[in-house]
Chains A and B, each alone.
Chain A
Amino acid sequence: MALRELKVCLLGDTGVGKSSIVWRFVEDSFDPNINPTIGASFMTKTVQYQNELHKFLIWDTAGQERFRALAPMYYRGSAAAIIVYDITKEETFSTLKNWVKELRQHGPPNIVVAIAGNKCDLNDVREVLEKDAKDYADSINAVFVETSAKNAININELFLEISRRIPSSNASAATGKGFKLRRQSSEADHRCC
């Protein structure tokens, strides 16, 4: 079965639950006291989609979103971006548009965009209507789901929807790709064009 590595970057304001969504997806766990993101280089999970294996390489912001200091490198080569807001905080939804703009500016042209309204378990303190978010997502042709990392709602569905939207052929793969440096010199490394 063909294995495809798909880089996914996470965007959204500090504290909306970006890391929690990924922890739920990757480790099926939830820690209410998770640190503001430090420590994860990236997280991976492989899922089967039709006759392919999709290995998600999920990059975390490493806290660099806090003062808007994400580097262009963060977006490079991403197949998809998940932009997260908190349904209980209106301002995290208003800034969503800035993240979309940032993505359009620095991200690859054909990137799949997914919007996740997280913390949907806290419906009674909701500040963002599901319909408003859905309308916005539709207007930019983005995937939309409301999620709860805490209660494991719609997390797998979010990634399944991303798999569905990824172009099936390898048309997205850049021609003449580079290679990763490795410790030992070996001919296997030498697969540059």
Chain B
Amino acid sequence: MNEEYDVIVLGTGLTECILSGIMSVNGKKVLHMDRNCYYGGESASITPMEDLYKRFNIPGSPPESMGRGRDWNVDLVPKFLMANGQLVKMLLYTEVTRYLDFKVVEGSFVYKGGKIYKVPSTETEALASSLMGMFEKRRFKKFLNFVANFNENDPKTLEGVDPKKTTMLEVYKKFDLGQDVVDFTGHALALYRTDEYLQQPCLETVNRIKLYSESLARYGKSPYLYPLYGLGELPQGFARLSAIYGGTYMLNKQIEELVIENGKIVGVKSEGEIARCKQLICDPSYAPDSVTKVGQVIRVICILSHPIKNTNDANSCQIIIPQNQVNRKSDIYVCMISSAHNVAAQGKYIAIVSTTVETNDPEGEIRPALDLLEPIEQKFVSVCDMYAPSDLGTDSQIFISRTYDATTHFETTCNDIKDIYKRMTGSEFDFEEMKRKKEDIFGDNQ
């Protein structure tokens, strides 16, 4: 390791592994290290179950009813992939998708008045849904049509709406949509966590609803995908890409010091040795002095022996509890997956509840979600600080990722990746840059 690298990457979370892959594919000499003995950092899937008990300081070992410890791969951060979203695009461009198998999440649900309802997102579903009354359905259908045809460069499709001026609230008014419909449109289709978007120009919201519908159109059932064996497979796949293009990997490496000369990173000291570099990418835990706290997320991993009630026994689903429904500022999410995804022992379900913390009693805040899941066999509660870089790396050439937020998809993670890429290279991120630069499958019929 006493060598000179273009880029050293610390931490093997998804953000770091994708950036590592992009850098290696583009000919940079990369050294990638992690203090843990497993891949994934904060976005790892923990296996076996025994390790999850240890991590959360739960006394004793998992009971017999948990089955084989090795059958579990429990995500620390609950998320799904939007079928037409940016992470899927990254997987396709890099061809990392070769290493992974996916399943479509079986359903998306929204909470209203203590009950859950399937999220209607197509005309047919909207017309069949019990969420809305008859007249409301017609108006919602018109709204969905408007969104589907919306093209910011074609005034004919805009029906008098100015994409950059008209607020979303005004658009809702234009279609005369009621509060409940507004709630699930903004939170279950556009996937906003708060209601701040209502006062913003409508373009972003319309595009988010389009992303939802286009994702849904790809596989039916729901707009979400999930990889077999857990989300921890994603960083591993991108790490493999980086390694194929020459990246050097070391796990279980304690990092003693970021070596800085004249305000610029020149290397990393680990186990007494210094590896030199021109640029550094790391997660917030490797540069605690250069990040600021931007909030907290609570996540509760719940192990169940039954599917969630009123989901048609779905083996996977998402439930969104819009903030209005429970007098909050931000939504509560539930992501559920099960043994069908090779992440749990036979017949077991993992439901992860998460939200942005708003009070001094975070566990109390998520009560309505836990009530939907009972009986819960085992809970693993974490309240994590979220960090963002205070140093953007212009002078130091240290590029720090953001902590994974409470959103249930990877769009914000991908935005962070694109932003770091731009700061590192000075040029706008382009998916084309991710394409493999040479043939790397050999043999017959490939």
Q: How far is the CA of A193 from the CA of B221 in the complex (A)?
A: 12
Instruction: Select which of B102, B236, B443 is within 8 A of A181 by beta carbon.
Output: B102
In the complex, what residues of B have CB within 8 A of residue A38's CB? Answer: 243-246
Contact status A67-B443, CB under 8 Å: no
Q: In the complex, which of the residues A67, A73, A76, A181 has the most CB atoms of chain B within 10 Å of its own CB atom?
A: A181
Quote the shortest CB–CB distance from B95 to chain A (angstroms).
8
Contact status A39-B104, CB under 8 Å: no
* Chain A residue with Cβ nearest B38: A72
A95 within 8 A of B: no
Instruction: Select which of A55, A69, A180 is within 8 A of B101 by beta carbon.
Output: A180
Instruction: Select which of B220, B228, B438 is within 8 A of A39 by beta carbon.
Output: B438
In the complex, what residues of B have CB within 8 A of residue A177's CB? Answer: 101
**A64-B240, A73-B240, A185-B218 known; A26 and B92 CB under 8 Å?**
no
A42 within 8 A of B: yes
Contact status A179-B101, CB under 8 Å: yes
Contact status A73-B237, CB under 8 Å: yes
Q: How far is the CA of A111 from the CA of B444 in the complex (A)?
A: 24
Quote the shortest CB–CB distance from B308 to chain A (angstroms).
19
* Chain A residue with Cβ nearest B47: A72
Per-position 1/0 for B358-392, Cβ under 8 A of A: 00000000000000000000000000000000000
Q: How far is the CA of A182 from the CA of B236 in the complex (A)?
A: 20
Q: Count of A-B contacts with CB under 8 A?
A: 117
Per-position 1/0 for B71-85, Cβ under 8 A of A: 000000000000000
Pick from A43-51, A86-94, A126-134, A150-158 the stretch touching chain B.
Answer: A43-51
Instruction: Select which of A44, A71, A185, A192 is within 8 A of B446 by beta carbon.
Output: A44
* Chain A residue with Cβ nearest B70: A105
Q: How far is the CA of A38 from the CA of B27 in the complex (A)?
A: 13
B440 within 8 A of A: yes
Quote the shortest CB–CB distance from B104 to chain A (angstroms).
6
Q: Which positions 82-141 of chain A face chain B at CB distance < 8 Å? A: none
> Chain A: interface secondary structure?
loop
Per-position 1/0 for B245-256, Cβ under 8 A of A: 110111110000
Per-position 1/0 for A18-41, Cβ under 8 A of B: 000000001100000000001111
In the complex, what residues of B have CB within 8 A of residue A192's CB? Answer: 102-104, 219
Quote the shortest CB–CB distance from A185 to chain B (angstroms).
5
* Chain B residue with Cβ nearest A73: B236
Q: How far is the CA of A190 from the CA of B47 in the complex (A)?
A: 29
Q: How far is the CA of A187 from the CA of B6 in the complex (A)?
A: 43
> Chain B: interface secondary structure?
mixed
Contact status A46-B92, CB under 8 Å: no
Quote the shortest CB–CB distance from B264 to chain A (angstroms).
27
Contact status A67-B445, CB under 8 Å: no
A164 within 8 A of B: no
Instruction: Select which of B218, B245, B441 is within 8 A of A42 by beta carbon.
Output: B441
Quote the shortest CB–CB distance from B176 to chain A (angstroms).
33
**A40-B440, A44-B443, A180-B97 known; A69 and B250 CB under 8 Å?**
yes
Quote the shortest CB–CB distance from B225 to chain A (angstroms).
8
A166 within 8 A of B: no
B192 within 8 A of A: no
In the complex, what residues of A have CB within 8 A of residue B240's CB? Answer: 62, 64, 71, 73-74
Contact status B103-A73, CB under 8 Å: no
Q: Which positions 85-140 of chain B face chain A at CB distance < 8 Å? A: 88, 91-92, 95, 97-104
Number of A residues near B (Cβ < 8 Å) is 39
Contact status B250-A73, CB under 8 Å: no
Quote the shortest CB–CB distance from B74 to chain A (angstroms).
14
* Chain A residue with Cβ nearest B219: A190
Quote the shortest CB–CB distance from B278 to chain A (angstroms).
21
In the complex, what residues of A have CB within 8 A of residue B102's CB? Answer: 178-181, 192
Q: Which positions 38-80 of chain B face chain A at CB distance < 8 Å? A: 39, 47
Per-position 1/0 for A170-193, Cβ under 8 A of B: 000010111111110100011011
Contact status A193-B103, CB under 8 Å: yes
* Chain B residue with Cβ nearest A185: B218
* Chain B residue with Cβ nearest A74: B240
A15 within 8 A of B: no
In the complex, what residues of A have CB within 8 A of residue B245's CB? Answer: 38-39
Contact status B248-A181, CB under 8 Å: no
Contact status A64-B243, CB under 8 Å: yes
Quote the shortest CB–CB distance from A42 to chain B (angstroms).
6
Q: How far is the CA of A185 from the CA of B219 in the complex (A)?
A: 8
Q: How far is the CA of A46 from the CA of B102 in the complex (A)?
A: 26
Instruction: Select which of B47, B229, B243, B443 is within 8 A of A43 by beta carbon.
Output: B443
Interface pairs (24), CB distance under 8 Å: A38-B243, A38-B244, A39-B245, A40-B244, A40-B440, A41-B440, A42-B441, A44-B441, A45-B443, A46-B444, A62-B240, A62-B243, A67-B251, A68-B251, A69-B250, A71-B39, A72-B236, A74-B240, A180-B102, A181-B91, A181-B97, A181-B102, A185-B217, A185-B218
- B-side residues, CB < 8 A to A, are 39, 47, 88, 91-92, 95, 97-104, 217-220, 225, 227-229, 233, 236-237, 239-240, 243-246, 248-252, 340, 342, 438, 440-446
Nearest first, the 3 closest Cβ-Cβ pairs linking A and B are: A178-B101, A44-B443, A62-B243
